[in-house]
Amino acid sequence: MTKPEKLIVDGKRLDGRGLNELRPIRFKAGVLKRADGSCYLEFGGNKVMAAVYGPREVHPRHLQNASRAIVRYRYNMAAFSVEERKRPGPDRRSIEISKVSREALESVIMQELYPRSAIDIFVEILQADAGTRVAGINAASVALADAGIPMRCLVSACAVGKVDGELVLDLNKDEDNYGQADLPVAMNQFGEITLCQMDGHMTEEEFGRALDMAIEGCKKLHQMQRQALIEKYGEMVSPAEEAHADGGEANE
């Protein structure tokens, strides 16, 4: 693979997007019959399957927590997910991504409701095209909701990078490979950041702007996640109906 001469030409990226545009994204909840909850996600060229099992008994039992459920997250890239066949099994990168992704989701899961149990999250990257960790978190969040796991809210994630000296939202493969920085961010709908990592170099001013771009991207993703669950479980309540319901409660 050779580096393109320029990754941004006349304000447009090589895939035709503007600097602040997400790639095409499609969520589908409840795709696996044998999992308690699942989600299939296409995020640009990424294809991701997430499955959730639990709450269920912990094995081995010495891992049990008497006061709360434990959350286990396994991120794995299929051997065929990249151009050159990946060696199967966990490596340092997948172990690190599993750890930070678990921590990004743990804060919204009501673990105290299920002592001595486990909630297992499996994320399989079927096709990789930059941004697999944030794609996995987005899919896992929908799968948790599909499984009926009590959560305070959904978690959404996206990345911002620095390419040709410009900040861009949701890096594609070339931008990820040849860009100057990468900032994956996860946040909940209350604006609390649950994951923030950075590779590369940004100035303090660039970091602030990148974080604002990531937050706006996460807000858009939250709406898509919510819509995927609505499509499976029922029609969205219209704003007029919500206002009517709120007014009825106030009158009472």
Give the pLDDT confidence score for residue 89 in this predicted structure: 80
Mean pLDDT computed over 59-82: 94
pLDDT tens digits, residue range 20-59?
999 999 999 999 999 999 999 999 999 999 999 999 999 8
Distance of CA 13 to the CA centre of its chain: 23
Q: In angstroms, rounded to a whole number, what is the distance separating the alpha carbons of residues 138 and 151?
A: 14
Residue 53 identity: Y
* Average pLDDT of the residues of the chain: 91
In this prediction the pTM is 0.89
Burial class (CB in 10 A: 0-12, 13-18, 19+), 191: exposed
CA angle 242, 248, 251 (to 5 degrees): 140
| Domains of the chain and any CATH numbers | 22-234 (3.30.230.70)
Q: Is residue 246 scored above 70 in pLDDT?
A: no
Among 60-64, 207-211, 244-248, the range of highest mean pLDDT: 207-211
Q: Is residue 196 scored above 90 in pLDDT?
A: yes
What does the block give as tokens for 86?
A: 């990946």
Pairing of strands 181-188, 37-43: unpaired
State how far the alpha carbon of 22 is from the alpha carbons of 188, 194, 217, 224, in Å. Answer: 18, 20, 7, 12
Burial class (CB in 10 A: 0-12, 13-18, 19+), 104: buried
DSSP 111: G
Q: Is residue 249 scored above 70 in pLDDT?
A: no
178 compared with 87, residue with greater pLDDT: 178
- Tell which residue, 189, 185, 192, has the closest CA to residue 157: 185
Band of residue 139 on the pLDDT scale cut at 50, 70, 90: very high
Mean pLDDT computed over 197-202: 94
State how far the alpha carbon of 189 is from the alpha carbons of 142, 216, 232, in Å. Answer: 13, 11, 21
Pairing of strands 46-57, 37-43: antiparallel
Q: Is residue 238 scored above 90 in pLDDT?
A: no
pLDDT tens digits, residue range 212-228?
999 999 999 999 999 99
